[in-house]
Structure 1
């Protein structure tokens, strides 16, 4: 299963209004308490996997998520485990994901590292109230999920207040259109960092993520794939800058990734005539990596939406 979603941080001034707007969309609320597992040396986190047991209402679900395209798509497999017995979590078992793309990828990862499922241990937990509703947009059905709560790990807590837009059915363009309307209305800013990434840092007592390796874009691929490849490392870093957590090395890496993205966009002028203008904007942003506010502005969010749409298969 591939999950197509976008996640955004919500400015404090807009939180009450956004919550009210979601309640008007015939929403329901669910308390989600989750426990995340990894090896002591963070093998899963370093490979962008997340493995959790989550209590949803009266039942438990074991979920494995893996890296997708780094933009909107992630591998995911959910294994419902039935009714919970109090607060006691069921035992973890990777057999529940056997034969799925995510499960196969995780077993291969453990094998390459000489590790076994027995090396997996609880690292951090989350306690989230999710208010969610399904909305129709341009031929698509999209689930909106407002997550409010906290992440706990390493003796510390981190507040969570974010909203996700997940494609239930129909074209991804419908998800992008709906998410853009809410972004304009409430000043949202795109953040591809997962709760698992943030929880892993909390458990380790660090605030900054790692510097991603430079990306080489294959010019032989279709242009939308080139855009996706060049955009992924940019989006991986802009959340850090917007939240004022980025290290100088991360900001330099962001400038370099923006340069690669600009070159990729200019190469696609025959596919998308507006790409040259977007490339100029991206180049200008490369000189503003030490400016925190620019990464939360509406114009920057509009740019990401354009690039995400151009990265979809079938463009051009």
Structure 2
């Protein structure tokens, strides 16, 4: 299964009003306690996988997520485990994902690195209260979920205040439209960092992530696919930059990634209006506040829209 979602950080000034708006909708609240597993050298985290056991209400679910084939998609397989364990987490078993695309990809990763499922161990945990509802938007049904809580790892804790928009059914353009309305209303800013990624850093005593590879884009590919490939390293970096946690290497890499993105955008006249503001952004990688502005988020929404497979 491929999940299609976007996640945003919520500025402190908007948290109370956003929470109230979501509670006013026909929403539900669920406590989510999760335990995340990886090898000692973080093979899964380094390969964009996340493996967890999570208590959802009265039952437990084992979930495996992996890199998907687009900016808004990820491989995902969920295995509900029932309520027999109570509050005690059941034992981890990769057999629950056998034969699924995510399960096959994880086994190939482990085997390629000379590892086995026995090398997987608990690395960090999360305790989240999720307030969520389903919203119809432009022919799509989107789950809107507010997550508030903390991540624990390496003897430290990290607070969580984020909102996620996940496509339940329909076209991704409906998700984009709804998410942009919330972004305008509450000053949200896009953040591609998962809880698993942030928890892994916490467990390793790190404050920022690695610098993604910026690879040349094949001009023979469809333009939307070129755009998706060029945009990926940009969005991988903006979370740390906007959060004021980026290393100098990440800031420089973001400027380089935007330059590479501009090369792709100049290949199609539809993108003419975003060339100048993106060029300006490339010179502002040391200013976190700029990357949290609604105008900056509007650029990401335009680019995500154009990167959809049927957009061009």
Query: Do both proteins adopt the same fold according to a TM-score greater than 0.5, normalized to the shorter chain?
Result: yes
Deviation at 1:103, TM superposition (A): 0.6
Deviation at 1:284, TM superposition (A): 1.4
Flag structure 2 segments of 5+ consecutive residues without an equivalent: none
Secondary structure of the residue that 2:81 maps to in structure 1? strand
Q: What CA deviation, in whole Å up to 9, does each residue of 1:131-181 have, x standing for no partner?
A: 000000000000000000000000000000000000000111100000000
Runs of 4+ in 1 over 3 A off after TM superposition: none
Secondary structure of the residue that 1:63 maps to in structure 2? strand
- 1:315 and 2:311 are equivalent in the alignment: yes
Which structure 2 residues correspond to residues 272-291 of structure 1 after superposition, within 5 A? Answer: 272=270, 275-291=271-287
Which structure 2 residues correspond to residues 1-316 of structure 1 after superposition, within 5 A? Answer: 1-69=1-69, 71-269=71-269, 272=270, 275-316=271-312
Cα contact 2:241–2:251 (8 A) shared by 1: yes
Cα contact 2:59–2:86 (8 A) shared by 1: no
What CA distance in whole angstroms lies between the structure 2 residues aligned with 1:293 and 1:79? 40
Deviation at 1:70, TM superposition (A): 5.3
What CA distance in whole angstroms lies between the structure 2 residues aligned with 1:70 and 1:255? 22
Secondary structure of the residue that 1:314 maps to in structure 2? coil
What CA distance in whole angstroms lies between the structure 2 residues aligned with 1:52 and 1:162? 19
TM-score by length of 1: 0.97
Cα contact 1:69–1:232 (8 A) shared by 2: no
Secondary structure of the residue that 1:196 maps to in structure 2? helix
Shift of the 310–218 alpha-carbon distance from structure 1 to 2, 3 Å rule, reads same
Moved more, 85-94 or 1-10: 85-94
Deviation at 1:16, TM superposition (A): 0.5
Flag structure 1 segments of 5+ consecutive residues without an equivalent: none
What CA distance in whole angstroms lies between the structure 2 residues aligned with 1:147 and 1:276? 37
Deviation at 1:69, TM superposition (A): 3.6
Cα contact 1:261–1:279 (8 A) shared by 2: no
Deviation at 1:85, TM superposition (A): 2.6
RMSD: 0.8
Q: What CA deviation, in whole Å up to 9, does each residue of 1:226-255 have, x standing for no partner?
A: 111000100000110100000110001000
Deviation at 1:279, TM superposition (A): 2.1
What CA distance in whole angstroms lies between the structure 1 residues aligned with 2:29 and 2:112? 41
TM-score by length of 2: 0.99
What CA distance in whole angstroms lies between the structure 1 residues aligned with 2:69 and 2:123? 26
**How many residues are paired up?**
312
Secondary structure of the residue that 1:177 maps to in structure 2? helix
Cα contact 2:154–2:204 (8 A) shared by 1: yes
Deviation at 1:54, TM superposition (A): 0.2
